[in-house]
Amino acid sequence: MLALLRDRAPASVRVLEAAALLTEVKDGLLTVICPPDLAGEDGFEQWLADRLAAYALRIEIELAPPDLPALHSRIAELDCRLLVVAAAAAEDDAVRLRELSERTACDLLFVQ
């Protein structure tokens, strides 16, 4: 399972919760990809751990590559079956997300 986070906004919390629920059922490994500035914020790892404490899963944090093609390549390498993103991201990048889904053969879950 793969979750893309942009920030710590309420939509990102909902993305994490949806991904965590599905991860528990699937294989127990949730990969969180986020921008380096978000991952580098004070308290980010604790914030993430607090949101996911109620779930039985393992977490991997990966820094988003600097450009979109590299991000798409990394997602394909991870062989994710489901990519969970905030609906706002879908509105911003609908065409790119559709292309990503087709190229990586993963399903997309949009969380409002």
Give the residue-averaged pLDDT of 68-75: 84
pTM comes to 0.83
Nearest Cα residue to 89 out of 102, 78, 101: 101
Q: CATH number of the domain that 30 lies in?
A: 3.40.50.620
pLDDT band, residue 63 (cuts 50/70/90): very high
pLDDT band, residue 108 (cuts 50/70/90): confident
Give the residue-averaged pLDDT of 2-21: 91
The total number of structural domains in the chain stands at 1
Q: Per-residue pLDDT for 8 more than 90?
A: yes
Q: Helix or strand or coil: residue 92?
A: helix
pLDDT digits (tens, 9 = 90+) for 32-53: 999 999 999 999 999 999 999 9
The answer to whether 37 and 65 have CB atoms below 8 angstroms apart is: no
Q: In which domain, by residue range, is 63 found? A: 2-111
48-57 long-range CB contacts below 8 Å, 24 or more apart? 48/16, 51/13, 51/16, 51/17, 51/20, 52/16, 52/20, 54/20, 55/20, 55/21, 55/23, 55/24, 56/24, 56/28, 57/20, 57/23, 57/24, 57/28, 57/29, 57/30
